[in-house]
Amino acid sequence: MFLVILGIIVLIITISLSKQGGVVTKFKTLFFGGSVVLIIAGLLFSTVKQINAGHVGVQVLFGKVQEGVIYEGLSIVNPLFDIKQMSIQTQSYTMSGTFDEGEKRGDDAIRVLSNDGLEVGIDLTVLYRIVSSDAPKIYRDIGLDYKDKVIRPITRTGIRESASFFNAIDLFAQKREAFSAKIREKIEAGFKSRGIILEQMLVRDIKLPLSVRESIERKITAVQDAQRMEFVLQKEQQEAERKRVEAKGVADAQRIVNEGLSDRILQYEAIKVQKELVNSPNSKIILLGGGKNNIPFILGGEK
């Protein structure tokens, strides 16, 4: 529009000075041509708009937002329209207790009260994007600073409302997934009503009070001790069972041997021994034992 306005000004000045005569009259045609060129060039530049990739253009005419958007690329528009570009790409908003990690400097973690009245700190990141067709509505109702007006308050409120359904320890351990699902449900509904899509929600960290952390650590230690003791008991039981099996095996072996050693077998073995001793060249004294088995005893002898 600047070139159009400049061309009109040059045209008006040329017409005014040409009526007075003088030097301007000789170059009237040149000035007229230059002003026309400026006006035409200005109109061309004003009617052709480039929208960057991943953005849409919202058309504003004298402060009134027009329905419909202009998509990325070159478009011919009314030169009187003011075009506001808005990103439809995925954006992120982080609230963290770590300095310079989130959108706000310093400790920006969300402080919530759990169902058991304990204060819990939560670090969170939300990924979102605006719906392209709702860009005019967002610009008209919220403006370009929708991060601070919508994203931040809806997210913090959703987390606080969701945390009231859970105990502090449940938030940290057993019901963390259920807690995340509850938050997502709250935030997603709030975003959707304002033309914003929640793509992903990341619960990055949950900071419990020191007393709760110590209680969890003691509980974990007790569980580990119990598991270790259970392992020791199982090992002792297995060792005792092994010894019982071994003793039973020895007893069974002795029983089988005893059952196989009859009187006739013992007498036969004794006769074999006596025969070998008689034929042996070594000197010895042999005493025949009494009793029914008549087993010999060797009192002395050398090879």
pLDDT digits (tens, 9 = 90+) for 130-150: 999 999 999 999 999 999 999
In the predicted structure, residue 81 carries a pLDDT above the cut 50? yes
Sign of the Cα torsion 110, 203, 104, 91 reads negative
Q: Which residue has the higher pLDDT, 47 or 129?
A: 129
Domain 91-208 falls in which CATH fold?
Answer: Tetrahydropterin Synthase; Chain A (3.30.479)
**Under 8 Å between Cβ of 280 and 251:** no
Q: Which residue has the higher pLDDT, 81 or 270?
A: 81
How far apart are the C-alpha atoms of 41 and 54, rounded to whole Å?
A: 28
Average pLDDT over residues 9-38: 61
Q: Tell me which residue of 210, 216, 217, 202 sits closest to 169, measured CA to CA.
A: 216
Q: For 164-189, what is each residue's pLDDT tens digit?
A: 887 777 776 667 788 888 888 889 99
Residue 157 tokens read as 């409120």
How far apart are the C-alpha atoms of 156 and 151, rounded to whole Å?
A: 9
The SS3 call for residue 104 is: coil
Q: For 86-115, what is each residue's pLDDT tens digit?
A: 999 999 999 888 777 777 877 888 888 877
Q: In the Cβ-directed half-sphere of 74, how many Cα atoms lie within 13 Å?
A: 5
pTM of the predicted structure, to 2 decimals: 0.58
Average pLDDT over residues 65-86: 86
Average pLDDT score over the chain: 77
**Under 8 Å between Cβ of 114 and 120:** yes
pLDDT at 58: 92
pLDDT at 253: 73
Cα torsion through 36, 41, 47, 48, rounded to 10: 160
- Percent of the chain scored above 70 by pLDDT? 67
Average pLDDT over residues 116-128: 85
Burial 18-43 (b: 16+ CB within 10 A, else e): beeeeebeeeeeebeeebeebbeebe
Q: What confidence tier does 278 reach under pLDDT thresholds 50, 70, 90? A: low
**Under 8 Å between Cβ of 127 and 90:** yes
Q: What confidence tier does 303 reach under pLDDT thresholds 50, 70, 90? A: very low
**Under 8 Å between Cβ of 86 and 139:** yes
How far apart are the C-alpha atoms of 301 and 277, rounded to whole Å?
A: 10
pLDDT at 268: 67
**Under 8 Å between Cβ of 47 and 76:** yes
How far apart are the C-alpha atoms of 192 and 86, rounded to whole Å?
A: 17
Q: Tell me which residue of 86, 7, 73, 11 sits closest to 40, measured CA to CA.
A: 7
pLDDT at 127: 94
Sequence-distant (6+) residues with CB within 8 A of 246 are none
Q: How many residues does the chain have?
A: 303
Q: For 216-234, what is each residue's pLDDT tens digit?
A: 667 767 777 777 888 888 8
Q: In the Cβ-directed half-sphere of 293, how many Cα atoms lie within 13 Å?
A: 10
**Under 8 Å between Cβ of 85 and 60:** no
**Under 8 Å between Cβ of 120 and 213:** no
How far apart are the C-alpha atoms of 35 and 114, rounded to whole Å?
A: 71
